[in-house]
Structure 1
């Protein structure tokens, strides 16, 4: 697992940097690291606790959950630009799924303690990062609600029709 520094310009192209000024991106980039994740390697596992936020900058990750039947179901694929580990980053809750690289991938990592260190001197930057996280979580909820409705319609085509 290789780690190297991320640039402010690179961070500006991510979900975290979209609302930030160039100067804020440079500052936040100093708190982040870039990791190369080889094909098939696990980024994190279901049930693990981590205070790290991940931003996928290249490649894809399969999101899977243990079925209790001896294998895991793939629920979704995350692409470049997506965030991962939001809940654990916010409140140290265990990961609800396992993420495994599908092909070689790169992520930007941000530790919660590193973001909190910016809070006193750069509250607007921290606020904008938190907005990006909330936006990501809302998109996950929207996708899950849409999939739930589609599944219900598949199971019973008469649901919702009068």
Structure 2
């Protein structure tokens, strides 16, 4: 799959022209992981945005007992690592390949250098990331309200 196909698959790239896509594709790195490989662990350095081209990953946390507790999944055509990409903090979760996966990675440091050269391009991408994070928060709020309502109804 070429990078042109990637741009159509992920809403983060919406509104970019061909020249901007060419600049951005210079920051991409393609990587594969096998089933049950850990993409990143909780506490590891963040700052990488992942675009899932193939497969499925689980977002997990370790319990105090050391058990792996999955709480979200990411499917083909979705991205992950958004929060640490935005703020550069360490990962607060672990990501595990549910199947053999293929991703495109983009490093925050490289993207920040592009910001100096092309602030309009990076502003478009950051805006789209913001929209995606809003969608995630709205979904989480809905789930929280549904769970709260369910618990109150059960007594």
2:32 to 36, 42, 47: 36
Q: Which runs of 5+ in 1 are unaligned?
A: 1-5
2:50 to 44, 49, 54: 54
Q: Which runs of 5+ in 2 are unaligned?
A: none
Give the match for residue 9 of structure 1. Answer: 4
Aligned 1:66-105 pairs, distance under 5 A? 66-105=62-101
Cα pair 2:29 2:105 within 8 Å, conserved? yes
Equivalenced residues, count: 154
Determine which structure has the larger helix proportion and give its number: 2
SS at match of 1:157: helix
How big is each residue's C-alpha offset from its partner over 1:71-108, in whole Å with a ceiling of 9 and x where there is no partner? Answer: 12111111122221122112221212111111111111
Give the match for residue 125 of structure 1. Answer: 121
Q: What is the TM-score of this pair, normalised by structure 1?
A: 0.86
Cα pair 1:8 1:28 within 8 Å, conserved? no
- The offset of 1:136, in angstroms, is 2.2
Cα pair 1:83 1:133 within 8 Å, conserved? no
SS at match of 1:137: helix
- The offset of 1:158, in angstroms, is 7.3
Q: What is the TM-score of this pair, normalised by structure 2?
A: 0.89
